[in-house]
A and B are shown apart, each in its own frame.
Chain A
Amino acid sequence: MIQGQFQLQQGEFHFNVNFSFPNQGITVIFGHSGSGKTTLLRCIAGLIRAEGCLKINGEIWQDEQIFLPTHQRPVGYVFQEPSLFMHLNVEKNLHYGMKRVPITEQKVQLDNVVELLGITRFLKRHPKNLSGGEKQRVAIARALLTSPKILLMDEPLAALDIHSKAEILPYLEKLHAELSIPVLYISHSLQEVKRLADYLMIMKQGEITEHGKATNMLSHLDSLLKQVGWHDSPFVGF
């Protein structure tokens, strides 16, 4: 299990979460903008130093005494924008994280990931010559190649156009089916929740208000959404 508890005060915003979700499959965090979804991911990655604790499969990453800095946490992080290194070509971007992981800890193979995400044909290209969807696939591959114990994805499709979203979703489904890395995935889109989620956490105003298996929760999602104040259509981007 992945368990944690974080508290943070950022100006007016009070962030107080207590969570526990399975260490397999895709856990989707769903909620309004400003509900604290990205803050939660950043706390797990150690990019924000909140008070609290974090335990991944029994391994303590943070508690009252310990705070592992980001570069010592085996996380993969896919940001909303692909954020590829513009001074490196695609292949070197992929190698950047991989070569910093000891060989004995490398569980994900370059050839497999490159094939899985369909990036073989543009390995030698520069990021500026890639489409938005292609860049995001490279960013996902780069994160996976660090053989993370958890993959954090912060609305990876949000910055893409409808065409690129449609292009990437099947790749995410393939990842889900073929890799055993647990994924924590932020989304605004019910379509993504329905296609990807095994487990669902709903956030509102810095708290997790509901969580559970996606199959159970999706059956009464409308009432849950109303409960967290989601009156507009959640079919954002589709």
Chain B
Amino acid sequence: MTDMPINWEAISLTLSLATTTTIVLLILGTPFAWWLAHTKCWCKTLLEVIVALPLVLPPTVLGFYLLISLGPHGWVGQFWQFLTGQHLAFTFTALVIGSVISSMPFVIHPLQNAFTAMGTRPLEVAATLRASPIDRFFTVVIPLSRAGFLTAATLSFAHTIGEFGMVLMIGGGIPGKTQVLSIAIYEHVEMLEFTQAHILAGGMLLFSFSVLFLLYSINKRFYTG
């Protein structure tokens, strides 16, 4: 595979993928989670089930359907090709789309729970104190739901870093292009390069532990004030 003891390309690609996925999910997921927390629409349960599906589906099932739809014969893939003239499957963009879908419950659930727990009273108070809807969102909703946002961002980031089956299916593990850390470790092991596998696997273990430890510590501080 490579003579370098540390596969920097895979590390950099994984971090870019996790960062992009988290940013996209926070931007798209916040209004959606807000809507889910407040709507009385009949389709709420249906949408909640769809959001939760990646939690229970084997990643390969998600990867399979994504590959079908992002591929050159799938409707997303064809639309992408019509817009850009390029194939979508086995690209970084495909990985981002897959990761966004796969990590969606890790963002939507904590945000929806935070918005539900906050209730409508703080917003009513802010409205009587002359705050417009946008003003209320930034000065009341976000600060009061900060633990939810932190959990959402951290879990999305950490889950994307740990993704394997789905990224392998829609990315193909092309070095420098779609080969993320989890795939790189798998390939090192297949080629009996245990030193490189140890370095990457140990690094991921340490990283995941540190991120979760930080998240739990900060959240504890938020909840105990």
Seen from chain A, the residues whose Cβ lies within 8 Å of a Cβ on chain B are 45-47, 69-72, 75-77, 79, 81, 83, 85-87, 96-97, 100-101, 126, 128, 142-143, 146
**A71 x B131 contact (CB < 8 A):** yes
Name the segment of B10-18, B30-38, B75-83, B118-126 touching the other chain: B118-126
**A85 x B130 contact (CB < 8 A):** no
Question: How near does chain B come to A147, taking the closest CB pair, in angstroms?
Answer: 10
**A47 x B124 contact (CB < 8 A):** yes
Q: In the complex the two chains form, what is the Cα distance from A71 to B128 in whole Å?
A: 6
Question: 1/0 contact trace for B127-155 toward A, CB 8 Å?
Answer: 11111110100011001101000000000
Which B residues are in CB contact (< 8 Å) with A76?
128
| Closest B residue, CB atoms, query A129 | B225
**B127 x A70 contact (CB < 8 A):** yes
Seen from chain B, the residues whose Cβ lies within 8 Å of a Cβ on chain A are 121-122, 124-133, 135, 139-140, 143-144, 146, 225
| Closest B residue, CB atoms, query A152 | B128
**B127 x A142 contact (CB < 8 A):** no
Question: How near does chain A come to B4, taking the closest CB pair, in angstroms?
Answer: 47
Question: How near does chain B come to A28, taking the closest CB pair, in angstroms?
Answer: 20
**A–B Cβ pairs within 8 angstroms, 17 of them:** A47-B124, A70-B127, A71-B132, A71-B133, A71-B135, A79-B125, A85-B126, A85-B140, A85-B144, A87-B143, A96-B131, A96-B139, A97-B129, A100-B131, A128-B225, A142-B129, A143-B129
**B130 x A97 contact (CB < 8 A):** yes
Which A residues are in CB contact (< 8 Å) with B132?
71
Known: A101-B130, A146-B130. A77 touches B225 (CB 8 A): no
**A77 x B144 contact (CB < 8 A):** no
Which A residues are in CB contact (< 8 Å) with B143?
85, 87
Which A residues are in CB contact (< 8 Å) with B130?
71-72, 97, 100-101, 146
**Beyond A47-B127, A100-B130, 11 additional pairs, beta carbon < 8 A:** A70-B127, A70-B128, A77-B124, A77-B128, A81-B121, A85-B122, A85-B143, A97-B128, A101-B130, A146-B128, A146-B129
Q: In the complex the two chains form, what is the Cα distance from A173 to B139 in whole Å?
A: 33
Q: In the complex the two chains form, what is the Cα distance from A70 to B139 in whole Å?
A: 17
Q: In the complex the two chains form, what is the Cα distance from A87 to B222 in whole Å?
A: 10
Question: How near does chain A come to B125, taking the closest CB pair, in angstroms?
Answer: 5
**A96 x B128 contact (CB < 8 A):** no
Which A residues are in CB contact (< 8 Å) with B131?
71, 96, 100
Which B residues are in CB contact (< 8 Å) with A72?
130
Known: A71-B130, A96-B126, A146-B129. A79 touches B121 (CB 8 A): yes
| Closest B residue, CB atoms, query A148 | B128
Which A residues are in CB contact (< 8 Å) with B124?
47, 70, 77, 79
Q: In the complex the two chains form, what is the Cα distance from A72 to B127 in whole Å?
A: 8
Question: How near does chain B come to A154, taking the closest CB pair, in angstroms?
Answer: 11
- Scoring A87, A142, A146 by chain B CB atoms within 10 A of each residue's CB, the highest score goes to A87
**B129 x A100 contact (CB < 8 A):** yes
Q: In the complex the two chains form, what is the Cα distance from A97 to B130 in whole Å?
A: 6
**A87 x B128 contact (CB < 8 A):** no
Q: In the complex the two chains form, what is the Cα distance from A100 to B135 in whole Å?
A: 10
